[in-house]
Structure formats: structure tokens, C-alpha cells
């Protein structure tokens, strides 16, 4: 295909980004969306919900034995979250950099956590940490008919399609 010839296999890479309950409460949804839009990624899914405990336990299945796990689930179910899927070249690793270190005290200024949070238990956003993790989380939070396959007019300028 054209994109394969251009060496652009990763252009359709997707990741899951969430604005956590503290981010929603603090009116940071628009700001987070704006950062990803301005970076050049494409929004392909978005919804707001109060996350059921079962969904959260699947989402954080790898953390079940951590001491902070019960408080994490309480935090994540304390209010609505905004869940998004973003698409574009290298989006998984690039969005981890945009989000910053898990601990806001370590997150660099210029990252979302570095700019908007001070404590690890209230760090505003989630981002998938690997390609496999992203695929798993996207399937967990979205039905396939909730994900939009659309062409943005600036795609060839931003991403060398």
C-alpha cells in the first residue's frame, strides 16, 4: 500500500488516554484534549462515564497486589472520567512523554502531570504504557463501533502519509 511504501506502518497506532476524576473536577478536560490535538494526534474515540468497579479492576489488573490499589479504585470511581482514544505515529510512547512520570514530583514541567499535579495519588491523567497495553485497554473501554475511522485533512502534512 501507499503508506507501507512510505514506511509509515505506525500511523494508525492508537492509545488510551483518560482524564481521571481529579482532572474532570479541575476543568482540565479541554486542556488535555487541546494538548493532544495540537501535538498532531487524531481523536478517534471519546466518552464520559462513572467507571464501574469491575471495569477499573480489569483496567488496573496488574496492580491488584499493590498497597495503594484499594485507594486507587476509590479515587478512580469517585467521579466521572473522560476516556479517549488517540491515533497517530508513535502515539503510545509519545503520549507517555506528554503525560510525564507517574509521580508528579518527578514529572518534568511541560508534561501534563508536571504542570498540573503534585501528588502521585492524584495525577490527573492516564496513558497506556505499551502497544499491547493500549490494545487491551481500548478493547476494555470501547466497543469497536464507538471508534471513528476518519481522515483528517491535515494528515499528510502532519505525518508524512
Residues with a catalytic annotation lie at: 126
Walk across the sheet containing 14-19 and list its strands.
Answer: 42-49, 81-87, 14-19, 125-127
The phi, psi pair for 38, rounded to 5°, reads: -65, -30
Told to check if 58 binds ligand UDP by CB under 6 A, we report no
Pick the binder of ligand UDP from 50, 68, 105, 130 (CB under 6 A).
68
Give residues 102-131 in contact with Mg ion (rule: CB under 5 A): 129
Q: Which stretch binds ligand UDP (CB under 6 A): 3-11, 47-55, 78-86, 119-127?
A: 119-127
Residue 115: C-alpha distances to residues 22, 86, 95, 121, 143 (Å): 14, 21, 15, 15, 32
Q: Which stretch binds ligand UDP (CB under 6 A): 7-15, 22-30, 117-125, 141-149?
A: 117-125
Q: Which of 120, 131, 140, 158 binds ligand UDP (CB under 6 A)?
A: 120
Amino acid at each position: 500500500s501507499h503508506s507501507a511504501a512510505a514506511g509509515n506502518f505506525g500511523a494508525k497506532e492508537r492509545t488510551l488516554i483518560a482524564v481521571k476524576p481529579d482532572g474532570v473536577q479541575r476543568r482540565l478536560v479541554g486542556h488535555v484534549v487541546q494538548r493532544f490535538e495540537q501535538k498532531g494526534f487524531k481523536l478517534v474515540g471519546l466518552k464520559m462515564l462513572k467507571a464501574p468497579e469491575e471495569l477499573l479492576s480489569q483496567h488496573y489488573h496488574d496492580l491488584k497486589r499493590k498497597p495503594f490499589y484499594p485507594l486507587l479504585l476509590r479515587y478512580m470511581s469517585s467521579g466521572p472520567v473522560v476516556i479517549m482514544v488517540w491515533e497517530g505515529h508513535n502515539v503510545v510512547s509519545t503520549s507517555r512523554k506528554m503525560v510525564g512520570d507517574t509521580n508528579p514530583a518527578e514529572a518534568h514541567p511541560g508534561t501534563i502531570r508536571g504542570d498540573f499535579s503534585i501528588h502521585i495519588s492524584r495525577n490527573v491523567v492516564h496513558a497506556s504504557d505499551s502497544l499491547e497495553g493500549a490494545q487491551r485497554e481500548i478493547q476494555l473501554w470501547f466497543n469497536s463501533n464507538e471508534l471513528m475511522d476518519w481522515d483528517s485533512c491535515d494528515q499528510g502534512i502532519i505525518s508524512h502519509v
